[in-house]
Chains A and B, each alone.
Chain A
Amino acid sequence: DAGVIQSPRHEVTEMGQEVTLRCKPISGHNSLFWYRQTMMRGLELLIYFNNNVPIDDSGMPEDRFSAKMPNASFSTLKIQPSEPRDSAVYFCASGPTTSSYNEQFFGPGTRLTVL
């Protein structure tokens, strides 16, 4: 298996622009997690899905952030409009299930820079 796939790997954009980050989880995994990592705050959970349904989005910073999972093999995290403080590395992770003792497998991340 190729593991969790994220695209793009790097994104540089200007303040006010829309940014869309993409994730393909490991086939067969039914839970998907979006994290943000910064030097200031470390690794933060933004939102997670189980069987394509958002379960907890309490970590999403504000309404500018939205996430979707239209099917079991694809998820997006969108920031509109983007701001410089959104600059971070965004990780997607997937796992077999949220109801048992299972690790999460992380993608390589998308490094976002908002100028």
Chain B
Amino acid sequence: GESVGLHLPTLSVQEGDNSIINCAYSNSASDYFIWYKQESGKGPQFIIDIRSNMDKRQGQRVTVLLNKTVKHLSLQIAATQPGDSAVYFCAETSSGSARQLTFGSGTQLTVLP
């Protein structure tokens, strides 16, 4: 039968392993990207951002990579912990959009003990 609702991509990783979450975008004019983390019952929380004049940015345990050629964004989480279990969204914006964010559908990350 026809599926209803969003089919969230899922990623399961062992505690302590590294996680890589991917995101594709379509707007070649997008020049600012943000990764958000949303835990169950909470609002999206900012993790890290990157501008289009960069291809890599590092934070605490997280790294964002941007490949503008193929319009691909990834979030790498080092030494994944149980508290990292959440839905992760990428968001993009451009100056032409008056800085409105366009969100991806999200990826469910589950950290296994």
Is A54 interfacial (CB 8 A cutoff)? no
Is B25 interfacial (CB 8 A cutoff)? no
Most buried by B among A41, A42, A55, A105: A42
Residues of A in contact (CB 8 Å), total: 29
Residue interface mask A1-37, B partner, CB < 8 A = 1: 0001000000000000000000000000001010000
Residues of A within 8 A of B44 (CB): 43, 91, 106
Residues of B within 8 A of A71 (CB): none
Q: In which size bucket is the chain B interface?
A: 20 to 34
Residues of A within 8 A of B51 (CB): 101
Q: Which residues of B contact A (CB under 8 A)?
A: 4-6, 32, 34, 36, 42-46, 49, 51, 89, 98-101, 103, 105-106
Most buried by B among A39, A43, A55, A91: A43
Residue interface mask A60-86, B partner, CB < 8 A = 1: 000000000000000000000000000
9 of the cross-chain contacts (CB-CB < 8 Å) are: A40-B5, A40-B6, A42-B105, A91-B43, A93-B43, A97-B99, A98-B98, A98-B100, A108-B42
